[in-house]
Structure 1
């Protein structure tokens, strides 16, 4: 049973407007700030929860949010204080839009919107991790929407530093598939939203890390697409214990949507892998995987907004005088999308050739050769070509003017002979080139490039995949294959397709390939290749037992 909301406190400089929501140990009110004039959300700790522990947790939440307030996808905190009646409060950005949980009540997200939201949330989570903060309660209800329609991660009430420890046996299970409120349960200092929590959170002594937040991120994106939490079974019991059992087994309920590509489902399944080592190692890696799906579907890649210290970017030039004041503001860097399959050679930093020396114009305009897509997102140091050596200039000296007429005549005669000899040599070379062109056959451009031949030879060196027999899900509507290969390298992926030719080729980033939907009891076979850059291995077939 929910408690009634507390009375809004009297706050100097603020005018109470309305109640926005109530949680386990705090209420959120809408106030009008007088100067500067704007609407703000004010979170107030309820009087019944004024213990030393809850006060400390409340202050910690304000401090954590303040460290992250510069990020565009994290709710900004403006001020924190204690009201006249003794209740602590903090003033934060008012997000007028509905939470993701409220939006899901209308309909699931379209694929492009879910990808865009997932990348932006991953940016926020990566920023928190860079500051040494775990969120530990990422779910649709804890993501608000601002006036621009952007997601805004909030409710750091149960967050901790990466070095901190969880108290043991103090969890509050928020069961079922609902959003469970925005601030967790009221019985304890630690809340836990079961539908989006990783299996390690149900250990007797849970030790979450950054991959635990990655799991919750993937579960949240899955929820946006499916319209329900990942382990919820329609028409079946979905209590906390039911969900925990499915989470620990990794029994994700298949999506009944044809527009969600297998590559996206593979990314989400890897993000929600039972074993932490099988998940993406960071929120940025998860965001990059979502970017690759965007590019695969032909969408513009959503930028990953993270602090500049996460990037090995070259030093920026000193700001101009007009920018001096702006240089003191916190900045967030954008990571552009990485190509889905870069060449092995494309990982080396190169510089664009900047021509600074004057050169004569070509006889005919030469079309610019487009840079391959794999190279367009690389950081390239500038290369400055060597300046041409200055040509010696003959000085006009008295000695030169005193040259006798006979010497000048001999010089002129030698010049004429030299020019004639040069013309003869040029003509001979031209004839030789013409003859060699006729004997050589097609022009060089029509021959297979050497690089392609080398790639074809090197392709045989990509190790072949090893496929474990497929395992059917509990309801038999999907089959999961685990794939591995020797000498795995960063960026290796698996290209696969149904062996019967009934589907298109898909790409999996992780060791699990999920085939869905299938008929219960159906024998399923897939063909798999290891993709390394532009090269692929031999095709190997795997089937259900």
Structure 2
């Protein structure tokens, strides 16, 4: 039975407006802050839950959110204190938009919106990981929408430090069995708490999650936005917690039935939700970059990855230095590629109606020995191409009227003659030439009578040629090759273990500078062709 909300506390400098929501340990209210004037959300602990462990967890959440408040995709915390009635509270940014949980239940997310949301949330999660914090409860309900329509991650109430002993906060088997009995007795079926987005390691007797556990929950969240349901939920079947845990542990992800979702995106989400943590993306940034590659493949502008700039520490300023130290900001924007002298256009993928693309230019008449290719000869485009010069160019003015009167008949006769010649020639060729055992490579297969070949080739993977360090060891020059190059091919490379943005180059080589002598450095190289990327990035490392 749902509890009644608590009474909003009297807070100096704030005026109560209304209840925003209720949770298991707290209520969230909307207040008007008097100075500075703005609307804020105030999270207040319930009086009946004021034990030492709850207070400690509440303080931890406030401190964690304060560390991460400057990130654009994490809810900002403004203030924390204890009310006059002894209830702890903290004041945070008011996000006026719906949560992702509310949105996916009533609207269909576009692929572009889901990709953009995934990259932005990856930025927020990578930022938390960079200061040693696991969120451990990533799900659509914990992602709000701010006034600008951006996602805002919240509810760090069960987060933990990466190096500390993990306080087990998950659903035990005993609790699940009790829930199953309640479902059986009530006849209702539903998805329980955070189980649908939790990785399998969280259901072990002694769970030991790491950053890849948050990656699992994030991938499950993006899947939910696209599917309109959780990844392991089967429509029309029982979807209680025990059912879901069994499917999660088996890796039985329900098929994503959306024609507009490319297979590459499905593969990225499946890797993010792999049962074995070692098979997932190693970090939230790696997951974000995989989503960026899908954006490039689909012709979308890549979403920036906003992560802390941890490599450069702010230095004390001397009196003779200029007032420009604000460049060392705590958060930097990582673009998908560095600025280039020439603008790089990513062409969109061809429309799904491939026949429309084929009809943009007259298809050439090509004779093949197979029966289904003979039918291609009689296509209207081919006949029209032969009929085009039927009108003589040497007609004089006096004869033009008579020629016009005879033109329909001549065109008809010419068309019949041309068609007869074409069919006869095709029959003669099929008689003289032997029938090949395999259809021509340019054919799209199957008895398809459509003309014009379609490039369905796979983008080749780059191959390493050399990785040579400079004499002083401070730089490494990498050279690779494209085994099947085509005009317009480009290469995207990024240094492993850094937040530097990927670079795009037209030449199969790159140099990494600023290294510590003797340090091992690796880069990942991807071939880009017509908006598509090679499936397996080349991992090249110095010796």
The answer as to whether partners of 1:267 and 1:508 remain within 8 angstroms in 2 is no
Partner of 1:151: 151
Helix, strand or coil at the partner of 2:491: helix
Helix, strand or coil at the partner of 1:265: helix
1:76 and 2:76 matched? yes
The answer as to whether partners of 1:17 and 1:31 remain within 8 angstroms in 2 is yes
Distance of 1:532 and 1:333 partners within structure 2: 27
Distance of 2:60 and 2:466 partners within structure 1: 45
Sort the Cα spacing of 1:533 and 1:283 in 2 relative to 1 into closer, same or farther, 3 A: closer
Helix, strand or coil at the partner of 2:91: strand
Helix, strand or coil at the partner of 2:259: coil
Partner of 1:390: none
Partner of 2:422: none
What's the offset of the Cα at 1:313?
A: 11
Sort the Cα spacing of 1:135 and 1:375 in 2 relative to 1 into closer, same or farther, 3 A: closer
Helix, strand or coil at the partner of 1:32: strand
1:214 and 2:215 matched? yes
Sort the Cα spacing of 1:21 and 1:256 in 2 relative to 1 into closer, same or farther, 3 A: same
What's the offset of the Cα at 1:323?
A: 4.4
Distance of 1:227 and 1:313 partners within structure 2: 43
Sort the Cα spacing of 1:266 and 1:80 in 2 relative to 1 into closer, same or farther, 3 A: same
Sort the Cα spacing of 1:282 and 1:16 in 2 relative to 1 into closer, same or farther, 3 A: same
Partner of 2:236: 235
Partner of 1:45: 45
Distance of 1:146 and 1:343 partners within structure 2: 45
Sort the Cα spacing of 1:115 and 1:314 in 2 relative to 1 into closer, same or farther, 3 A: farther
Distance of 1:493 and 1:251 partners within structure 2: 30
The answer as to whether partners of 2:492 and 2:526 remain within 8 angstroms in 1 is no
Sort the Cα spacing of 1:320 and 1:4 in 2 relative to 1 into closer, same or farther, 3 A: farther
Unpaired runs of at least 5, structure 2: 177-191, 339-458, 471-486, 502-506, 510-521
Helix, strand or coil at the partner of 1:36: coil
Helix, strand or coil at the partner of 2:41: strand
What's the offset of the Cα at 1:331?
A: 2.6
- Aligned residue runs from structure 1 range 514-529, under 5 A: none
The answer as to whether partners of 2:199 and 2:273 remain within 8 angstroms in 1 is yes
Distance of 1:303 and 1:26 partners within structure 2: 34
Partner of 2:28: 28
Distance of 1:349 and 1:67 partners within structure 2: 39
1:334 and 2:451 matched? no
- Aligned residue runs from structure 1 range 326-405, under 5 A: 326=326, 330-337=329-336, 373-374=490-491
- Aligned residue runs from structure 1 range 36-435, under 5 A: 36-168=36-168, 171=171, 193-309=194-310, 321=322, 323=324, 326=326, 330-337=329-336, 373-374=490-491
Partner of 1:400: none
Helix, strand or coil at the partner of 1:15: strand
What's the offset of the Cα at 1:22?
A: 0.3
Helix, strand or coil at the partner of 1:21: strand
Helix, strand or coil at the partner of 2:106: coil
**TM-score, normalisation: structure 2:** 0.60
What's the offset of the Cα at 1:532?
A: 3.7
The answer as to whether partners of 1:288 and 1:338 remain within 8 angstroms in 2 is no
What's the offset of the Cα at 1:195?
A: 0.2
Distance of 1:313 and 1:375 partners within structure 2: 28
Partner of 1:538: none
What's the offset of the Cα at 1:334?
A: 1.6
Partner of 2:433: none
Sort the Cα spacing of 1:289 and 1:215 in 2 relative to 1 into closer, same or farther, 3 A: same
Q: Which consecutive segments of 4 or more residues in structure 1 shift more than 6 A?
A: 172-175, 312-320, 339-343, 345-350, 375-380, 492-495
Distance of 1:113 and 1:269 partners within structure 2: 19
Helix, strand or coil at the partner of 1:374: strand
Sort the Cα spacing of 1:64 and 1:168 in 2 relative to 1 into closer, same or farther, 3 A: closer
The answer as to whether partners of 2:492 and 2:525 remain within 8 angstroms in 1 is no
The answer as to whether partners of 1:25 and 1:45 remain within 8 angstroms in 2 is yes
**Cα offsets for 1:185-231 (capped at 9, x unmatched):** xxxxxx96100000000001111100000000100011111111000
Helix, strand or coil at the partner of 1:238: coil
Sort the Cα spacing of 1:139 and 1:349 in 2 relative to 1 into closer, same or farther, 3 A: farther
Partner of 1:355: none
The answer as to whether partners of 1:342 and 1:533 remain within 8 angstroms in 2 is no
Distance of 1:203 and 1:87 partners within structure 2: 35
Structure 1, 104-113 or 370-379: larger mean CA deviation: 370-379
Distance of 1:81 and 1:348 partners within structure 2: 58
Helix, strand or coil at the partner of 2:252: coil
Structure 1, 113-122 or 331-340: larger mean CA deviation: 331-340
What's the offset of the Cα at 1:107?
A: 1.8
Distance of 1:337 and 1:316 partners within structure 2: 32
The answer as to whether partners of 1:292 and 1:338 remain within 8 angstroms in 2 is no
What's the offset of the Cα at 1:491?
A: 4.1
**Cα offsets for 1:377-418 (capped at 9, x unmatched):** 8879xxxxxxxxxxxxxxxxxxxxxxxxxxxxxxxxxxxxxx
What's the offset of the Cα at 1:88?
A: 0.1
